[in-house]
Amino acid sequence: MTEVSCKTGVELLMDYLEGAVQDDVRTLLESHVDGCPKCAAFIASYLATPRIVREATAAAMPPELQESLLAFLRAQRGG
């Protein structure tokens, strides 16, 4: 691979954001994103997503699940 376009970039960005790309690929991506508002916006929205999902998940978590999770965490800490 010698070139990163938006099309290949978006696919690679998913790996990039998970830290799953080689250093040379990361360098190519970063230089592309530097000059590409579309990919920069994609990264920004991707980075914003996990927090939203986490909040939604926490809100949707049933009380009994929260309690068993807390019990698990307490057991881990005491373990």
Minimum CB separation of residue 63 from Zn ion in Å reads 44
Q: Residues 39 to 58: which contact Zn ion by CB under 5 A?
A: 39
> Phi first, then psi: what are they for 67, rounded to 5°?
-65, -40
Per CB under 5 A, the list member of 17, 25, 36, 43 interacting with Zn ion is 36
Minimum CB separation of residue 19 from Zn ion in Å reads 20
Is 17 in contact with 47 (CB distance < 8 Å)? yes
Nearer to Zn ion, 40 or 56 (CB): 40
Is 44 in contact with 52 (CB distance < 8 Å)? no
Residues that bind Zn ion (CB under 5 A): 6, 9, 36, 38-39
